[in-house]
Amino acid sequence: MQPCFKPDGTGTRVLVKVQPRASKNQVSGMLGDALKIKLTAPPVDSAANEALLRFIAEVLRCSPSAVRLVRGETSRNKVISIQGFTPSQVALLVFPP
């Protein structure tokens, strides 16, 4: 399992490195101990944060309310919490076999 996925009570915490203003929304692999995600949204007025949470919910096929930002509101390095998923479930959906 990737080191960016950690158990968190009833869910999983994920360490994320965000690259805003990319050409498309995508998971682009690992960068150190963080999951690297490219987003088309600019880092203005929380647009990238909202896009990140929507994108993660879309990738995991879950409700957007199950995904929340824990830390890193104004940083490219973020910690998100995903309720109802184990770290191994998140890893399988983010990096399908």
Please say whether the beta carbons of 36 and 19 come within 8 A.
yes
Dihedral sign, CA of 47, 48, 50, 51?
positive
Distance between CA atoms of 86 and 83, rounded to whole angstroms? 8
**Whole-number pLDDT of residue 97:** 86
Burial zone of 26 (CB within 10 Å; 0-12 exposed, 13-18 middle, 19+ buried):
middle
**Whole-number pLDDT of residue 2:** 79
How large is the average pLDDT for residues 10-39? 97
Please say whether the beta carbons of 67 and 81 come within 8 A.
yes
**Whole-number pLDDT of residue 3:** 87
Is pLDDT of 57 > 70?
A: yes
Please say whether the beta carbons of 3 and 12 come within 8 A.
no
What CATH superfamily is the domain 5-84? YggU-like (3.30.1200.10)
Distance between CA atoms of 73 and 21, rounded to whole angstroms? 16
pLDDT band at 62 (very low <50, low <70, confident <90, very high): very high
Domain boundaries, the chain: 5-84
pLDDT band at 1 (very low <50, low <70, confident <90, very high): low
pTM (predicted TM-score): 0.94
Percent of the chain with pLDDT over 90: 92
